[in-house]
Amino acid sequence: MMQGLIEQFGAVLGKQYVLTDDADKVPYLTDWRKRYTGKALAVLLPKTTDEVANIVKLCAAHHVAIVPQGGHTGFCGGATPDNSGNQVILNLKRMNQIRAIDSANQTITLEAGCILQSVQEKAAAQDFLFPLSLGAEGSCMIGGNLATNAGGTNVLRYGNTRDLCLGLEVVTAQGEIWNGIKGLRKDNTGYDLRDLFIGSEGTLGIITAAVMKLYPLPVSQWTTLVATDNIASTIALLTLFQKRATSLLTGFEMMTQESLALNEKHFPHMANPLKGNPPFTVLIELSDHESEEHVRKLLETILEEAFSANLISDAVIASNLSQANTFWHMREHITLAQAEEGANLKHDITIPLSSLESFIQDTDSLMRQKYPGVRIINFGHLGDGNLHYNIAPPLGLDPKAFNLSHEKAIHELVYAQVERCQGSISAEHGVGQLKLADLRAHKGAVAHDLMKALKRALDPQNILNPHKVVSI
Ligand code: FAD
Ligand code: MLT
Ligand code: ZN
């Protein structure tokens, strides 16, 4: 029966785009963090929306589950199949066409398999900014960004992926094509299907194309690294920048001493240019459409005010684009340094800024009491309250063994504090299979049951990415 299905896939896609040899499938089976490895009946590589629709119809007729996949850079195992060997991976990388750039409407219409960085570049070539930006931008794809509602470093100014999306084209679980590919900024015609599919991690439909917003490309950008002594000063500094720079503030990223120590251990050329290893290093970026001097002056004025108010103890302003890029690389390399260090525990959380100090103080202190020597790799997009409160084992301990013994209790410790502060246990990475079991307790029974009802209504056969986000 399965051989017959494989042949039918070949008839839709062309045989060379149906991968069934073990060696060919390997690159699609393990997630970026190397936390999950699954098996797959086949890896399917469609080129058009019609091909996706025909594949879904075949899968629906044969009750075969589909795992949609983009760049496979997600952190929650959402794009990794289970171990049954009965699921197919539908990787969208061949659907990589920019369909149109509409300058008057300031929109780009593009297919799901476009790599994020190439979208930024295509937009810039036409003098537009596509503001979504994250460390994986060289390999993640716009379909995956939409399916996870990715955040990244520009959220405080431009919002999450959801805020950048105006329209979608989606293949449903029945293999129908929903054409919602409009570039409208207002459209109150009933339930918002677009927003339902965004962030649904491939469980409600397969995103094949989208209309995304573009913005005027800033002409001047200044980046600075500053040192702060504690989280209270860091938050006060954010408030100061928000007041003085308003919409010119496009980046506010926080890195702790321990995060940067890990960075330097694995990437010695990424040394912090600030003196004396400060407790907190903050990367701040201002962008504008006025002259370089205007923004530079504003930045210097705000920094002077911050020095006078004792909010910061040191500052380095990037003197050119290359140095600014080095500052950003330092920030982005923390994730890579953690991967070099071995298995680690991630907590991608949001906390209201008003509760952030209390969250960090209490969680750090409980963590250090219970797990002496543990390294708290705490960094993130502080400008929008998003912390990556990641945990590495005490030096000298085997990370896998440490995680096996303590993972559950450490998650519980952090999540209890998140609940106390009315935060979220997934700010930007999603749920996937990693947080499947935590969702009901976190969202509450009513919200969780509504999510399951939606899943049953849209995918009654449970063939789209089953046992990710919610199980029905
Ligand atoms: P995948 O990993 O392939 O898939 C992710 C989920 O989306 C899966 O559930 C999959 O089934 C589903 N999916 C994929 N494509 C489709 C589609 N076309 N239709 C329906 N469902 C689909 N994330 C952030 O939010 N902010 C960050 O700052 C950030 N930094 C990162 C830095 C690094 C170094 C790395 C490795 C990852 C980072 N991530 C970050 C996580 C990751 O890059 C994002 O979640 C990204 O949006 C995933 O895109 P992808 O194409 O790799 O999707
Ligand atoms: C980042 O912001 O660099 C990633 O989302 C974080 C992570 O590694 O947890
Ligand atoms: Zn992040």
Kindly state if the Cβ of 151 falls inside 6 Å of ligand 2. no
Read off the pLDDT of each residue in 99-122 and give the average, rounded to a whole number.
98
Which atom from ligand 2 is nearest to the alpha carbon of 386? Answer: 2
**What is d(CA 379, CA 138) in angstroms, rounded to the nearest whole number?**
21
Read off the pLDDT of each residue in 207-211 and give the average, rounded to a whole number.
99
pLDDT at site 290: 84
Read off the pLDDT of each residue in 152-163 and give the average, rounded to a whole number.
97
Confirm whether pTM is higher than 0.80: yes
Residue-level length of the chain: 472
Tell me if ipTM is over 0.95.
yes
- What topology is assigned to 220-420 in CATH? Alpha-Beta Plaits (3.30.70)
Asked if residue 331 has pLDDT above 90, the reply is yes
Query: 328 C-alpha vs ligand 3 centroid, how far in Å?
Result: 13
Kindly state if the Cβ of 346 falls inside 6 Å of ligand 2. yes
**What is d(CA 238, CA 353) in angstroms, rounded to the nearest whole number?**
10
Tell me the per-residue pLDDT of 12-27, one tens digit each, with 9 for 90 and over.
999 999 999 999 999 9
User: Considering only 7-11, 270-274, 303-307, which range has the smallest mean pLDDT?
Assistant: 270-274
Kindly state if the Cβ of 380 falls inside 6 Å of ligand 1. no
**What is d(CA 212, CA 205) in angstroms, rounded to the nearest whole number?**
18
pLDDT at site 412: 97
Same CATH fold assignment for domains 98-216 and 220-420 = no
pLDDT grade, residue 1 (50/70/90)? low
Read off the pLDDT of each residue in 331-358 and give the average, rounded to a whole number.
95
* C-beta of residue 55 within 8 angstroms of C-beta of residue 442: no
Query: 82 C-alpha vs ligand 2 centroid, how far in Å?
Result: 24
Angle (deg, nearest 10), helices 231-245 and 292-308? 140
Determine phi and psi for 28, rounding to 5 degrees: -100, 0
Domain ranges in the chain are: 2-91, 98-216, 220-420
Kindly state if the Cβ of 390 falls inside 6 Å of ligand 2. yes
CATH dotted code for 2-91: 3.30.43.10
Kindly state if the Cβ of 388 falls inside 6 Å of ligand 2. yes
pLDDT grade, residue 450 (50/70/90)? very high
The CATH architecture of the domain made up of 98-216 is 2-Layer Sandwich (3.30)
The conformation of residue 218, written as its DSSP 8-state character, comes to P
Query: 382 C-alpha vs ligand 2 centroid, how far in Å?
Result: 12
pLDDT grade, residue 3 (50/70/90)? confident
Which atom from ligand 1 is nearest to the alpha carbon of 432? Answer: 9
